[in-house]
Amino acid sequence: MPMRPTRLAGGFAKGALVLCVVIAGLCPRSACAAPINDNQDSFNSYVMTAPLSQYPSLKLVKTWSAEMVKEVGFYENPGEAVMVNGVSLTGIRYRFADQRLESIYATYEGRENRDRLMRWLEEQYGKLAPVERRIVNQVEWRGDRMVITLDFDIYTKRGSLWFISPELNHLLNDSSASLPN
């Protein structure tokens, strides 16, 4: 006669599943993010909140106004080639809010490149929690002076890497016109 799982074992498995779902739901994205040391606020020699005048090679792409910020501008560095842990970053844009560096945005292609970037980010900025490492679409590192977001779209096989100043980003998010038309 084959052994049947007892009601107790079945109930335990269901209870464990429910508990996992509840814990995952209670863990907000920012609480699960890896912490960044307070002294880390730069990427590739670009320092968050630094004045635009420190980067004379940047060229203006687009500018606009927002409620809380007089001038928001997208800049790029023509001919700039950034390679991180063997991954070529493309489409790099630098966003300035009132002439201060608010964020750096870059794109990449391929799941294997996402994994290489994640390893490099963990070496530079801190290890992710095991639960966070399993999330494919987006992982985050948070500090008082910088937030890093690495995301990946499994359908297009493309991802982006953001380095953001929380202070300046907050001003842009409070503005109703934080993005250009």
pLDDT in tens, 138-175: 999 999 999 999 999 999 999 999 999 999 999 888 77
Q: Is 144 part of any domain?
A: yes
pLDDT of residue 14: 43
Q: Choose between 81 and 20: higher pLDDT.
A: 81
In a domain, 108, yes or no: yes
CA–CA dist 91, 84 (Å, integer): 14
Is 109 inside a domain boundary?
yes
- Total domain count for the chain? 1
Predicted TM-score (pTM) of the model is 0.78
pLDDT at residue 4, rounded to an integer: 52
Residue 180 falls within a domain, yes or no?
Answer: no
Q: What are the residues whose beta carbons fall under 8 Å from the beta carbon of 34, sequence distance 6 or more?
A: 122, 125, 126, 127, 128, 129, 132, 139, 140, 141, 142
Q: Is residue 105 included in any domain, yes or no?
A: yes
- Does residue 40 belong to any structural domain of this protein? yes
**Higher confidence at residue 172 or residue 89?**
89
Range of the structural domain that residue 94 is part of:
7-174
User: Does any domain span residue 179?
Assistant: no
Provide mean pLDDT across the span 54-70: 93
Q: Is residue 71 part of a domain?
A: yes
Position 150 scores a pLDDT of 97
The residue assigned the tokens 């038309």 is: 181
DSSP secondary structure letter of residue 96: E
Compute the average pLDDT of residues 123-143.
87
